Structure 1
């Protein structure tokens, strides 16, 4: 006997999920757009809230949220998510290129129009060479924002072989294609204390979130936790100084700590369910913050770092 299909309401739009079908697959079959990217549970871009009903979340639950690509309904369900722009293709040209250090590059891309995105989301940058790379819109370390222009940071040794060769794919005037935005871990207007955690290349997203919050939510309490290796980088000191001047508390953690969740809890001993945490970084750091969230009840919005891929 065939198991009955379950009725789903996805941001108010009705569809049915066949037995064993994930929330995302059911939505795609019904031509309902649910934010998503990789469909494998790595990118966190399809995190949605379960308002009513029972689901098998396959271990992806954080508070009342689950990953739609992994979660299967076990009953009729009401699913919701915050509205955001659907991913589209944007074409632009590099209009500023500046090495900030031997292994960190800042570059601007100018577009014909204004791409829609929210701070904390990411795009996929694509070049004719066949590379597709996750990039986070952020803020320049030294220059004000420009109209129809987005600033990005890249660590080239993790992205391209020989990026500094004469035929540089990021040189001024070079065409670039972006697809996005993706991600549900964007900055929201909330009253909860904002805690931002970064290691390695996750600093780009966290720097953007911190700056946007200081400008748009100046009265909101904010703490930034950065890995020790980041805290020691000379080119990032202006960013940390600026955040300090804007009353953002900065603390340093050791990503190699034996018990990373405990290490985080020692740095933020008063963490509660009323705090909102954004974490961007490597898998061990994100796993530690997920453990921390389950222990304390805080709201966690993970921002994974995705490996570059070759598309051709």
Structure 2
């Protein structure tokens, strides 16, 4: 599964490659709880290759981010260890064989999910693997956005990935292929949208401890007018939009539009538009933190129509739990 990366790509690159399995063990220790990691090779021959296809280049895990890695092992390997307290990992075995034991129990699947502090032991036989790493804070923030409030307990995934996840696994493969092609280097916005699709798809299809809360929160069917208004807000978020223009675009009166939004979404049309713009701000700040864009918090705020920086900062903090400047630095 060795890839040829797009020439000059700042995202996709080789992390470690060779035949020194002590070096491979040290690499896993940098990403997992280091005191727990042990790598055993029954026949210490062959080679390995780990490549990062997307994500911020920092040791370990970015608690606010998402990264994808590709691992090729031309050997038999037994890996055991413990996930860090601030990460989730999805392991998809594309070729070869694997057998995992999670928290002492055998998981009868080639694909598994581990969560914070999860203990694991996996035997690999010449595999090609995709690894999706997600920060615990990213998952918690996404759940808060979906539920409208902080989750009542930490999210724990069912470690067993079944055939019902085949479409999501295909999506992960498509993401890795696109990252290797270099397209995400040219379109950070596309990368951001794709990462959201992966994360939300995983939360919606892989069983976890908060699946019931997500199912209860699924919205009812919205009226055509509200759907048109939401689409207009998303397409014109970077432009000045008045409530009158929005009503004209949706072909109903201002009062009817306001009533529909209150009834179906629990907020005004302009509040919804502000949420859309704030999400764009958040994504732009993350792009700056990850080195995909340049600018300041003020630049980004003004770009999306937030001219009163004090109110903007307070709104951002109440929505994301941190100041905009903290997001731009990817601090916890």
What TM-score, normalized by structure 1, do the two folds share?
A: 0.25
Identify the structure with the greater helix proportion: 2
Larger CA Rg, structure 1 vs 2: 2
**Higher RCO (CA-CA < 8 Å; seq separation 6+):** 1
- Bigger strand share: 1
TM-score (norm 2): 0.24
